[in-house]
A and B are shown apart, each in its own frame.
Chain A
């Protein structure tokens, strides 16, 4: 497939090279292992592979058909049609890293605009052109903080309310670096004052997330601001923040963060089962030379026309090799473009409207759930679009019930990450959830609360809810089949 050669062309080309047949091109490959038989399924046509994938995908419950209250680091937001329209342009998605700036101004200017809008959103001074995802962006931030201290400070204080997977990735990244990573063994209820107590002269960075993993806004100002305390210890303040929340809440740049980073998936990128996503990364300008990843800067060409290039490349692996802070090479270019188109389309008013919809809908949901007997909603701190519900029974049972009887994908089971949070459900509500969906979700919880002994052993949805469409019935029916083996 996709090879244009005719037999005549092939023969002529082989003749030009001076060999008889294609196999002659591989004489350097040891003969005993040359040309193995690959036991792969035989080729199919494009038409057949689409049919196959259509069939395989019908074994999934997709969120076009199932209302979703699951977040925990990946969120179901509306994506305006402009985003995929632009992303589908071959000029963007089939180009590579803009090594030749004269013929890459499209990508370069779009990245410059992405950097500008991320600075606007976070209140920070500089942004790179992205990292792989929120978790790796935080890991890069931590390595950067250590580099800023010239490797002298070896301790990282990290809040237990930072996304558990981010904390795991940080540990994976730094396992060869002999760092001490501490703080996240504190009880979850630990507030900022408990965490800042761990600062000392060996601390390179203190990491908080706000809204945190539980959806709550951390108190970053307090009696003495967290930034002041971190800076007094000579460390950097690293803030992980959901970008949609920044449309309404005070951004990290305004309360003294040195690095603000996180997951940019909310900005126009489909959930796509976890990737590709977008690690956004911003900092104070004075730290830019320690920042990893591609950075686009403005300049001019020889005719003095404004243009854009990759800049500060002397920081990067291909120049510094073993002395580089990071090995990062490409970024998530197309995902950063998605964010740029998303932010341009939403603009100042649209993004604030999205944020407020998330806020109002999640608060409505929280209020309804708080009124259910047996349930309790943690409302100690203000929250944005996600909140914690203490349930009368296991989250697994509740979620199975929601899926089976209400066709709803429920929330996240916090007991998976926090031993003392068994029966605690993390609920995300975005602009995508209608009031009807929320009411149905609450009904699902209510039924369960009133009948906690009701067996919920059926795995997939059975009953069709009256207001659901026929298409939904088909999807659920097919979701009952085990996935077909692909080979």
Chain B
């Protein structure tokens, strides 16, 4: 299957238009000729060609709606269709962010409720829905930690501890916030190495950024010791909430002693990944830190109901806020979807989500551990685990296995991450997959292991049955064609 779809510019013809705009119904005003551009090199397409073009492009994509997508650390669960309907309700979608709060009490009610839901799920006292994505939530969290230390007149804390199993965004967020990152290694059971941590804990530590369960899919067996060690030296504990799907109704991060955490509404709460965004990365904090949250956030006037005031909900800037982290109030469309998801689950439903995400991961781990090396298969994993793309008696690599999975109808797991596992294949099935789907995936992985021994070239040349075969990334970076050439007229 080698579908070739031309670029929009290649199906353009002068004079075509995909939609007609009405004639002006007001008298025309003279245009400022000296400020006008000569040409506008946009494509010109008939509407039917626009639709066919993008529909054919869509068919070149693999997606959750077309198949199993066990991409570790990304929580590619099913995206409920009711969420999409909810976010498109005209009463919600057709509201302007700067309308008077009195005219958008419905929106503010949803935002306030989601703030409350997230507080209850995480145990935190304050939540801001403003950050646009996980990476931005993380950056926000580190700015809050900075503001906290500075508010106490403590400017010596310049160091952020980051375990070697962390997401790449963690060190980058640290630098953006003006801190330096210090790496802490993992021990042989995949936990943070306590001795190494304690040796690094001093009065220059601003915080530790910790992902728990970590990127190996393991719940740290000494999480309370880790948190205490950092608190004892005056540092705060930042939780990367990317892996919260394993913890819904199982444990509240604030109860463990975390001070700040971001949520990924697009992972845990089923808002779609959109081919790489939009995400949404709300931040939760302890009572002490709530004053530093970015804003505005939504507050409920408890007296308003009795007094029959119309303004029940309002937008308020936290007292010592780090400031505004994006325009307006947050990715509202994602907030509506996450609200919808939490409402159809309720407390028991959310716990079932975590239980079945963990059940599915452990089932896959148990069924795959005799075929592929899994460094920590002796432990119960959480929502994901990391296998190694190594087959005894074959020189194939994780990448070859990943590409061969494409031929067999699957999206590959995350490969070469986390960096601490050689030839990593990070597998996260999520709770929305059935035993049949998981069994079929195991069959495919076993077939590939067999092929690796018998015909390794088959894997090295994979994929064979995809819209494209392996693409030359070096060529892309070298020739640097980043936009189409516009037809010259």
B40 adjacent to A352 (CB under 8 Å): yes
List B160-197 residues whose CB lies under 8 Å from chain A. Answer: 167-169, 171-181
A295 adjacent to B482 (CB under 8 Å): yes
Question: A427 CB to closest chain B CB, in angstroms?
Answer: 13
State which of B230-238, B270-278, B387-395 sits at the interface with chain A. Answer: B270-278
Q: With A29-B219, A486-B112 as known contacts, state yes or no: A63 contacts B94, CB within 8 Å.
A: yes
CB-CB under 8 A from A78, the residues of chain B are 21
Question: B381 CB to closest chain A CB, in angstroms?
Answer: 9
Bound together, the chains give a CA A47 to CA B18 distance in angstroms of 36
A274 adjacent to B97 (CB under 8 Å): yes
Bound together, the chains give a CA A331 to CA B275 distance in angstroms of 9
B40 adjacent to A72 (CB under 8 Å): no
Indicate whether B288 reaches chain A with its CB closer than 8 angstroms: no
Indicate whether A344 reaches chain B with its CB closer than 8 angstroms: yes
The chain B residue with its CB closest to the CB of A363 is B29
State which of A11-19, A153-161, A189-197, A200-208 sits at the interface with chain B. Answer: A11-19
CB-CB under 8 A from B138, the residues of chain A are 327
B8 adjacent to A94 (CB under 8 Å): no
Question: B236 CB to closest chain A CB, in angstroms?
Answer: 15
> How does the 8 Å CB contact mask read for A31-58 relative to B, with 1 for contact and 0 for none?
0011111111111111001101110111
| Of the residues B47, B80, B172, B278, contact of A332 by C-beta under 8 Å | B278
Q: With A105-B57, A333-B277 as known contacts, state yes or no: A40 contacts B469, CB within 8 Å.
A: no
Q: With A93-B272, A104-B61, A113-B8 as known contacts, state yes or no: A347 contacts B18, CB within 8 Å.
A: yes
CB-CB under 8 A from B252, the residues of chain A are 33, 36
Bound together, the chains give a CA A110 to CA B223 distance in angstroms of 44
B480 adjacent to A311 (CB under 8 Å): yes
State which of A124-132, A180-188, A446-454, A462-470 sits at the interface with chain B. Answer: A124-132
| Of the residues B168, B256, B310, contact of A33 by C-beta under 8 Å | B256
Bound together, the chains give a CA A354 to CA B42 distance in angstroms of 14
Bound together, the chains give a CA A269 to CA B447 distance in angstroms of 45
8 pairs of residues in contact across A and B, judged by CB atoms under 8 Å: A2-B432, A13-B360, A25-B358, A38-B351, A94-B79, A95-B62, A172-B322, A332-B278
CB-CB under 8 A from B133, the residues of chain A are 132, 329-330
CB-CB under 8 A from B349, the residues of chain A are 1, 43
B80 adjacent to A2 (CB under 8 Å): yes
The chain A residue with its CB closest to the CB of B57 is A106
B37 adjacent to A96 (CB under 8 Å): no
Bound together, the chains give a CA A485 to CA B120 distance in angstroms of 16
Residue total for A at the interface (Cβ-Cβ under 8 A)? 216
A80 adjacent to B472 (CB under 8 Å): no
CB-CB under 8 A from A444, the residues of chain B are none
Q: How many A-B contacts at CB < 8 Å in the complex?
A: 705
Indicate whether B313 reaches chain A with its CB closer than 8 angstroms: yes
Question: A448 CB to closest chain B CB, in angstroms?
Answer: 16
Question: B185 CB to closest chain A CB, in angstroms?
Answer: 15
List A152-182 residues whose CB lies under 8 Å from chain B. Answer: 163, 165-166, 168-169, 171-173, 175-178
A93 adjacent to B275 (CB under 8 Å): yes
CB-CB under 8 A from B108, the residues of chain A are 483
Bound together, the chains give a CA A484 to CA B347 distance in angstroms of 21
Indicate whether A222 reaches chain B with its CB closer than 8 angstroms: no
B109 adjacent to A56 (CB under 8 Å): yes
Bound together, the chains give a CA A106 to CA B84 distance in angstroms of 21
List A347-389 residues whose CB lies under 8 Å from chain B. Answer: 347-354, 356-357, 359-361, 363-364, 367, 382
> How does the 8 Å CB contact mask read for B102-117 relative to A, with 1 for contact and 0 for none?
1111111110110011
The chain A residue with its CB closest to the CB of B178 is A176
The chain A residue with its CB closest to the CB of B79 is A94
A17 adjacent to B91 (CB under 8 Å): no
Indicate whether B372 reaches chain A with its CB closer than 8 angstroms: no
Bound together, the chains give a CA A109 to CA B251 distance in angstroms of 42
> How does the 8 Å CB contact mask read for B447-489 relative to A, with 1 for contact and 0 for none?
0000000000000010100111111110111011111101000
Bound together, the chains give a CA A169 to CA B35 distance in angstroms of 30
Q: With A13-B435, A133-B326, A349-B17 as known contacts, state yes or no: A334 contacts B356, CB within 8 Å.
A: no
Indicate whether B124 reaches chain A with its CB closer than 8 angstroms: no
Q: Can you name 6 extra interface pairs (CB under 8 A) apart from A91-B65, A409-B96?
A: A1-B345, A62-B93, A173-B325, A301-B470, A344-B50, A349-B17
The chain A residue with its CB closest to the CB of B438 is A13
Indicate whether B45 reaches chain A with its CB closer than 8 angstroms: yes
Question: B268 CB to closest chain A CB, in angstroms?
Answer: 13
CB-CB under 8 A from B113, the residues of chain A are 485-487
A275 adjacent to B330 (CB under 8 Å): yes
Chain B CB within 10 Å — which of A53, A101, A103 has the most? A103
Indicate whether B148 reaches chain A with its CB closer than 8 angstroms: no
CB-CB under 8 A from B440, the residues of chain A are none
A17 adjacent to B366 (CB under 8 Å): yes
The chain A residue with its CB closest to the CB of B177 is A176
B63 adjacent to A92 (CB under 8 Å): yes
A135 adjacent to B175 (CB under 8 Å): no
A276 adjacent to B483 (CB under 8 Å): no
CB-CB under 8 A from B373, the residues of chain A are none
Bound together, the chains give a CA A33 to CA B249 distance in angstroms of 10
A103 adjacent to B96 (CB under 8 Å): no
| Of the residues A91, A298, A483, contact of B58 by C-beta under 8 Å | A91
Bound together, the chains give a CA A467 to CA B154 distance in angstroms of 64
B94 adjacent to A26 (CB under 8 Å): no
Chain A CB within 10 Å — which of B60, B139, B329 has the most? B60
| Of the residues A12, A321, A399, contact of B435 by C-beta under 8 Å | A12
Bound together, the chains give a CA A434 to CA B64 distance in angstroms of 42
Indicate whether A287 reaches chain B with its CB closer than 8 angstroms: no
Bound together, the chains give a CA A349 to CA B344 distance in angstroms of 45
A272 adjacent to B87 (CB under 8 Å): yes
CB-CB under 8 A from B279, the residues of chain A are 330
B323 adjacent to A169 (CB under 8 Å): yes
Indicate whether A90 reaches chain B with its CB closer than 8 angstroms: yes
B2 adjacent to A121 (CB under 8 Å): no
B273 adjacent to A96 (CB under 8 Å): yes
B330 adjacent to A438 (CB under 8 Å): no
CB-CB under 8 A from A318, the residues of chain B are 167-169, 417
The chain B residue with its CB closest to the CB of A366 is B29
The chain B residue with its CB closest to the CB of A87 is B274
Chain B CB within 10 Å — which of A23, A38, A41, A340 has the most? A38
The chain B residue with its CB closest to the CB of A21 is B355
| Of the residues B21, B249, B435, contact of A36 by C-beta under 8 Å | B249
A40 adjacent to B121 (CB under 8 Å): yes
A311 adjacent to B473 (CB under 8 Å): yes
| Of the residues A94, A171, A328, contact of B65 by C-beta under 8 Å | A94
The chain A residue with its CB closest to the CB of B349 is A43
A176 adjacent to B27 (CB under 8 Å): no
Chain B CB within 10 Å — which of A12, A91, A169 has the most? A91
B91 adjacent to A57 (CB under 8 Å): yes
The chain A residue with its CB closest to the CB of B87 is A272
B467 adjacent to A348 (CB under 8 Å): no
> How does the 8 Å CB contact mask read for B336-351 relative to A, with 1 for contact and 0 for none?
1001101111111111
B96 adjacent to A74 (CB under 8 Å): yes
CB-CB under 8 A from B313, the residues of chain A are 483
Indicate whether B95 reaches chain A with its CB closer than 8 angstroms: yes
Indicate whether A134 reaches chain B with its CB closer than 8 angstroms: yes
List A306-337 residues whose CB lies under 8 Å from chain B. Answer: 306-309, 311-312, 314, 316-324, 326-335, 337
> How does the 8 Å CB contact mask read for A225-253 relative to B, with 1 for contact and 0 for none?
00000000000000000000011111100
Q: With A60-B105, A72-B98, A88-B84 as known contacts, state yes or no: A330 contacts B277, CB within 8 Å.
A: yes
A97 adjacent to B43 (CB under 8 Å): no
> How does the 8 Å CB contact mask read for B251-286 relative to A, with 1 for contact and 0 for none?
110011000000000000010111111111000000
The chain B residue with its CB closest to the CB of A383 is B32
| Of the residues B169, B223, B323, B360, contact of A30 by C-beta under 8 Å | B223
CB-CB under 8 A from B171, the residues of chain A are 317, 321-322, 324
